[in-house]
A and B are shown apart, each in its own frame.
Chain A
Amino acid sequence: MPAARFPPVGRSAARGGSARVSGMSATADTNDPVLTGRGLVKRFGTTVALAGVDVAIGRTEAVAVMGPSGSGKSTLLHCLAGIMRPDSGEVHLLGQRIDTMGERARSELRRTRFGFVFQFGQLLPELPADENVALPLMLGGVPRAQAVQEARRWFAPLGLDGLTARRPGELSGGQAQRVAIARALAIRPAVIFADEPTGALDQATGHETMRLLVEATKHNGASLVVVTHDPQVAAWCDRILEMRDGKIVGTRYGTAAPGGDPATEAPARGWA
């Protein structure tokens, strides 16, 4: 796929039209991490899902969280994304603590500052692709026509030309995930969270989807947190956190194309 041309940063209708969580600064020091979790602990009954996790996600950094089933990687994602409150510890987005916010404020935060890509089932089957992408913008108060127009600008760079009117059931798995990526990016989020984004795709499509996800996220100045159990998917990220028994037990740096040497085969960054 040729190098993609994404809609320019800073011209989003979402920026002008959507409601923002009050007091949240979008222009913190560029060296500061965008998202941090400190001493995160989460228990489900007697099971300890997170046993004191510290993590920081830098601006435009792509971080993969890996680990076997039950290691706590999805719980970490949920705590960082404000879906779940940790039992103890703190989560900060651009310097502001978010884990103490009420459900409504966290919900608004997720809608305006975070983007989500799940394994499957996140697109509304009744809506055509462009309206699926426009939905979060409309939820933020952007008028329908403007939201759909804005949404359609993401289709060509993500290789979805001509598919705006298709419904999710009429798209392939890879196409549906790219629509989900477009939806996550459309609101110009600070961080995109992806939970097993390639889990329902074959290997080739999975890699292509990951490449687009990483490239598009970085190009838009957003950070990326990917939960996966697939090392080849994780290899697309800048940093890989290895989790076991609710703790981060290892960190690897540097990115590489799947199957290659991380030091030499970094994925192409052909952004205009």
Chain B
Amino acid sequence: MTGLLELSWRLLRGAGRHGMLGTVLTAAAVTVSTALLLFTIAGNVAFLARADREAWRHPVEATSGAVAIQAVAEDFVEDEVITVVTVAPLPGAERSGVHPPGLSRMPRPGEVWLSPALAELVRELPPERLANRFPGTVAGEIGDEALVHPEELVAVVGRAPDDPAVTREPLYVSPTVIGPTRVADFTGRHGEMLLGYRILTVIASVLMVVPLLVFGGAAARLTVARRDQRLAALRLVGATPGQVVLMTVAEAVIVAAGAAVLGLVLYVASMPLVARIELAGGPWFLSDLWPGLLPVAGVLLAVPLLVGVSAVVGLRRVVISPLGVAKRETPPGMRAIRLVALLAALIAVPIASRNTSWAVVTGVLALAFLALNLAGPWVVSVIGRITARVARGPAALLAGRRLVDDPRSAWRTIAGVALTGFIAGFTGLLTPSGGMLGSPSATDLIVLTPADQVRTVADEARARLARAGIEAQVHAREPRTDGRPRPVGPLRGRVVVELPETADTAQVDTARTALAGLVPGHVPTTPADEQRAAFLLFADLRTGTLIVLSASFLVAIVSAGITASSSVLDRRQTYALLHLAGTPLEVLDRARRIETLVPLAVMGGGSLLAGMFCALPFVFATLSAGGAAILLVTIAVGFGGVIAADALSRPLLRSVTRNPAPRPD
């Protein structure tokens, strides 16, 4: 056993220039796959870590033993959100030792704790723009363990338990604006927004992992296909089929294990770059992007294992005969059942999407994706049959026959782009445009007030704005009493502060600061502020789509390049002999191009449509300009990338045909 492994290792090292190139291609594929796989896992873990750190801002009502009253509101500066957490410690709170995370102790009334990014902003901006909103003593900085991301703006304001900010019934609540709540600790619970992001991450993972698996498997099979001649030679010297299988698998696994470690290194090296991607409001802590020791160990074990299994599957197709070359017989026709599987999945998607369970929808989506991968080779073989039948010239004939001969291999070349087409079709329809939300005013500040205080608050607002030298019109809006249904909660009116439409962010911020604390526990907001979460979500959906598409394209194009090169290597003897017999290189090249581009056009387009079909149940609106742009870019980059990757293998074709005395290996 050890001897066999040693021999495998030596064969691997002494594989010659072309053999080594093949090994390097396989290793590159596995490296990229591993890095992207780690990235996908990290994405899921990272949102969970964020949700954990943010949980304390979603207070849970204490049934007994309350130590503080906590309220959460959103304020705004420079078009960024400031999360303001008001904490009013109850008597005996300090002795209990309970305090919010990120703080060294319970905040005292009149104290303010700021996140590092907010503290810096307070120092940078004039006091009337920001600092005056937090009139207390700055007692310290909030630690990273209480922040969603490093640039998050958070303030913890200490108040007395009888302060109106924590005693009055809230006039408005939302997932991010929470009224005074008596808490026994600051454990809290996971917020809904971040959980929503986690679900989106799971969908993104499904979309990314399937092409990765196809890619990794293809890479492993390449190793096997290229070795068939040498394995036949090993059989000649008396190696048993079992030993040959073991050696091949060992070779594939050795390469994959090394490449998986390289993939880990690549991922760790790219973590600082990945951390800069802004999602859900900001960039990432590096620690968020580390998937954890156990998942990393799992990936490092699973990747070589998967490659080993793929190698065994690949070997099954290569009939190793002691007399020499692997036999090439007419392959059994692809079964149409593959197409039936895809159709079944496409029918299942709209039905399953009536079910509101995300798990079911994600599962069905994954199935549709896998079904597409299953149907791919069948469609390719049909395309090959048609191409061969209608071919007039030798290139098209050769391409068509090759597609029929090995539709799986042809599918592997284009699978990445076709599956990316599916993703683009799916996400293209799901990418809403910001325009859907209209263009809400960013200069009208609205202060919610109890119904009986509208006029008093309006007068106070006028006085404060005048003192601050801000030009504005202040309107008091009494609560409507026209019998129409009114919002849940206490009866409330509004004070609307109309700043000139030309007012810039600095002027709006100054007005916000002037109006701070006008109604205890409430901050003035513009209609644009209220839509901010939706804008953020839309922007994040676009970012997420771009990440998934970029990763898929990377896989697709590397995959196309590797498959094209290995296809040249696999056929190098035939190519060289055909060249010797005077076959022009252009004909061989054209055949390779037709072999890739015809199925790419059919499958890429088909996948795009299938993806759009699967997205239909979730569509917010008609195809947006952003979505259309994504689709167009997908088509352009996909085709361009595959053509370019294919072109890169042309020098290899030239090199293998230049050899005047081709030998099997």
Q: Mark B315-333, 1 if CB is under 8 A from A, else 0.
A: 0000000001101111000
With contacts A107-B584, A121-B577 known, is A138 near B328, CB below 8 A? no
Looking at the complex, which one of B401, B577, B662 makes contact with A127 (CB distance below 8 Å)? B401
Looking at the complex, which one of B402, B580, B661, B662 makes contact with A116 (CB distance below 8 Å)? B580
User: Of A32-40, A164-172, A213-221, which binds chain B?
Assistant: A164-172
Residues 627 to 665 of chain B near chain A (Cβ within 8 Å): 660-662, 664
Do B397 and A116 touch (CB < 8 A)? no
Looking at the complex, which one of A83, A107, A123, A124 makes contact with B398 (CB distance below 8 Å)? A124
B164 part of interface (Cβ distance < 8 Å)? no
Do A110 and B581 touch (CB < 8 A)? yes
Q: Mark B550-585, 1 if CB is under 8 A from A, else 0.
A: 000000000000000000000001100111111110
Q: What is the CA–CA distance of A118 and B404 in the complex, to the nearest angstrom?
A: 26
With contacts A114-B582, A125-B328 known, is A84 near B660, CB below 8 A? yes
B292 part of interface (Cβ distance < 8 Å)? no
Q: Mark B147-168, 1 if CB is under 8 A from A, else 0.
A: 0000000000000000000000
Chain B residues near A167 (CB, 8 Å)? 328-330
Q: What is the CA–CA distance of A256 and B579 in the complex, to the nearest angstrom?
A: 34
Q: What is the CA–CA distance of A171 and B41 in the complex, to the nearest angstrom?
A: 50
Closest A residue to B391 using CB positions:
A144
Do B584 and A139 touch (CB < 8 A)? yes
Closest A residue to B585 using CB positions:
A107
Q: What is the CA–CA distance of A125 and B326 in the complex, to the nearest angstrom?
A: 11
Chain B residues near A125 (CB, 8 Å)? 328, 405, 574
A122 part of interface (Cβ distance < 8 Å)? yes
Do B392 and A74 touch (CB < 8 A)? no
Chain A residues near B662 (CB, 8 Å)? 121
CB proximity of A188 to chain B, nearest CB, Å: 14
B587 part of interface (Cβ distance < 8 Å)? yes
With contacts A78-B660, A116-B580, A170-B329 known, is A122 near B391, CB below 8 A? no
Looking at the complex, which one of A83, A109, A122 makes contact with B574 (CB distance below 8 Å)? A122
A108 part of interface (Cβ distance < 8 Å)? yes
Closest B residue to A84 using CB positions:
B660
Chain A residues near B664 (CB, 8 Å)? 121
Chain A residues near B583 (CB, 8 Å)? 111, 135-136, 139
With contacts A121-B325, A121-B573 known, is A143 near B392, CB below 8 A? yes
Q: What is the CA–CA distance of A14 and B500 in the complex, to the nearest angstrom?
A: 86
Do B587 and A139 touch (CB < 8 A)? yes
Q: What is the CA–CA distance of A74 and B660 in the complex, to the nearest angstrom?
A: 10
A112 part of interface (Cβ distance < 8 Å)? yes
A131 part of interface (Cβ distance < 8 Å)? yes
Q: Mark A119-141, 1 if CB is under 8 A from B, else 0.
A: 01111111100010001101100
Q: What is the CA–CA distance of A153 and B434 in the complex, to the nearest angstrom?
A: 70
Q: What is the CA–CA distance of A139 and B328 in the complex, to the nearest angstrom?
A: 24
Residues 74 to 89 of chain A near chain B (Cβ within 8 Å): 74, 78, 81, 83-84
Do B393 and A126 touch (CB < 8 A)? no
Q: What is the CA–CA distance of A102 and B420 in the complex, to the nearest angstrom?
A: 45
Chain A residues near B406 (CB, 8 Å)? 126
Q: What is the CA–CA distance of A131 and B397 in the complex, to the nearest angstrom?
A: 9
Do B325 and A126 touch (CB < 8 A)? no
Q: What is the CA–CA distance of A167 and B664 in the complex, to the nearest angstrom?
A: 19
CB proximity of A61 to chain B, nearest CB, Å: 21
Chain B residues near A84 (CB, 8 Å)? 660
Q: What is the CA–CA distance of A124 and B394 in the complex, to the nearest angstrom?
A: 12
CB proximity of A224 to chain B, nearest CB, Å: 15
Q: What is the CA–CA distance of A169 and B578 in the complex, to the nearest angstrom?
A: 18
Q: What is the CA–CA distance of A123 and B664 in the complex, to the nearest angstrom?
A: 14
Looking at the complex, which one of B328, B392, B573, B579 makes contact with A169 (CB distance below 8 Å)? B328
Q: What is the CA–CA distance of A170 and B331 in the complex, to the nearest angstrom?
A: 11
Do B324 and A200 touch (CB < 8 A)? yes
Do A169 and B329 touch (CB < 8 A)? yes
CB proximity of B334 to chain A, nearest CB, Å: 15
Closest A residue to B328 using CB positions:
A169
Chain A residues near B581 (CB, 8 Å)? 110-111, 114-116, 122, 136
With contacts A121-B664, A126-B401 known, is A108 near B582, CB below 8 A? yes
Closest B residue to A127 using CB positions:
B401
Do B329 and A121 touch (CB < 8 A)? no
Chain A residues near B580 (CB, 8 Å)? 81, 83, 110, 116, 118
Q: What is the CA–CA distance of A83 and B577 in the complex, to the nearest angstrom?
A: 11
Chain A residues near B405 (CB, 8 Å)? 125-126
CB proximity of A272 to chain B, nearest CB, Å: 29
Q: What is the CA–CA distance of A143 and B583 in the complex, to the nearest angstrom?
A: 17
Closest B residue to A125 using CB positions:
B328
Residues 22 to 77 of chain A near chain B (Cβ within 8 Å): 74
Looking at the complex, which one of A74, A115, A144, A170 makes contact with B330 (CB distance below 8 Å)? A170
CB proximity of A236 to chain B, nearest CB, Å: 22
Closest A residue to B404 using CB positions:
A126
Chain A residues near B584 (CB, 8 Å)? 107, 111, 139
Closest B residue to A145 using CB positions:
B392
Closest A residue to B402 using CB positions:
A126
CB proximity of A42 to chain B, nearest CB, Å: 11
Q: What is the CA–CA distance of A186 and B160 in the complex, to the nearest angstrom?
A: 102
Do A139 and B394 touch (CB < 8 A)? yes
Do A138 and B582 touch (CB < 8 A)? no
Q: What is the CA–CA distance of A260 and B398 in the complex, to the nearest angstrom?
A: 45
With contacts A84-B660, A107-B582, A200-B324 known, is A122 near B394, CB below 8 A? no
Q: What is the CA–CA distance of A109 and B582 in the complex, to the nearest angstrom?
A: 7
Closest A residue to B396 using CB positions:
A144
Chain B residues near A131 (CB, 8 Å)? 397, 401
CB proximity of B145 to chain A, nearest CB, Å: 62
Closest B residue to A170 using CB positions:
B329
Q: What is the CA–CA distance of A108 and B393 in the complex, to the nearest angstrom?
A: 17
Looking at the complex, which one of A112, A114, A127, A169 makes contact with B327 (CB distance below 8 Å)? A169
Do A122 and B329 touch (CB < 8 A)? no
Q: What is the CA–CA distance of A167 and B401 in the complex, to the nearest angstrom?
A: 11
- Which residue, B329, B574, B582, B662, has most C-beta atoms of chain A within 10 A? B582
Do A111 and B582 touch (CB < 8 A)? yes
Residues 140 to 179 of chain A near chain B (Cβ within 8 Å): 143-144, 167-170
With contacts A84-B660, A168-B328 known, is A138 near B393, CB below 8 A? yes
- Which residue, B324, B328, B581, B583, has most C-beta atoms of chain A within 10 A? B581
Q: What is the CA–CA distance of A123 and B573 in the complex, to the nearest angstrom?
A: 10
Chain B residues near A135 (CB, 8 Å)? 394, 397-398, 583
Q: What is the CA–CA distance of A74 and B663 in the complex, to the nearest angstrom?
A: 13
CB proximity of B324 to chain A, nearest CB, Å: 7
Do B661 and A74 touch (CB < 8 A)? yes
Chain B residues near A81 (CB, 8 Å)? 580
Chain B residues near A122 (CB, 8 Å)? 574, 577-578, 581
CB proximity of A133 to chain B, nearest CB, Å: 12
CB proximity of B26 to chain A, nearest CB, Å: 23
Q: What is the CA–CA distance of A108 and B664 in the complex, to the nearest angstrom?
A: 25
Q: What is the CA–CA distance of A135 and B402 in the complex, to the nearest angstrom?
A: 14
Residues 376 to 412 of chain B near chain A (Cβ within 8 Å): 391-394, 397-398, 401-402, 404-406
Chain B residues near A136 (CB, 8 Å)? 581-583
Q: What is the CA–CA distance of A114 and B581 in the complex, to the nearest angstrom?
A: 8
With contacts A110-B580, A111-B582, A127-B401 known, is A120 near B325, CB below 8 A? yes
CB proximity of B571 to chain A, nearest CB, Å: 9
CB proximity of B34 to chain A, nearest CB, Å: 34
Q: Give the 6 A-B residue pairs with the shortest CB-CB distance, closest first.
A: A111-B582, A110-B582, A169-B328, A125-B328, A126-B405, A126-B401
Known: A120-B324, A138-B394, A139-B583. 13 other contacts (CB 8 A): A78-B660, A83-B660, A112-B582, A118-B580, A125-B328, A125-B574, A135-B397, A136-B581, A136-B582, A144-B397, A167-B328, A169-B327, A169-B329
Q: What are 16 A-B residue pairs whose CB atoms fall within 8 Å in the complex?
A: A83-B660, A114-B581, A116-B577, A121-B574, A121-B577, A121-B664, A122-B581, A126-B405, A135-B583, A138-B393, A139-B584, A144-B391, A167-B328, A169-B327, A169-B330, A170-B330
Residues on A facing B (Cβ under 8 Å): 74, 78, 81, 83-84, 107-112, 114-116, 118, 120-127, 131, 135-136, 138-139, 143-144, 167-170, 200
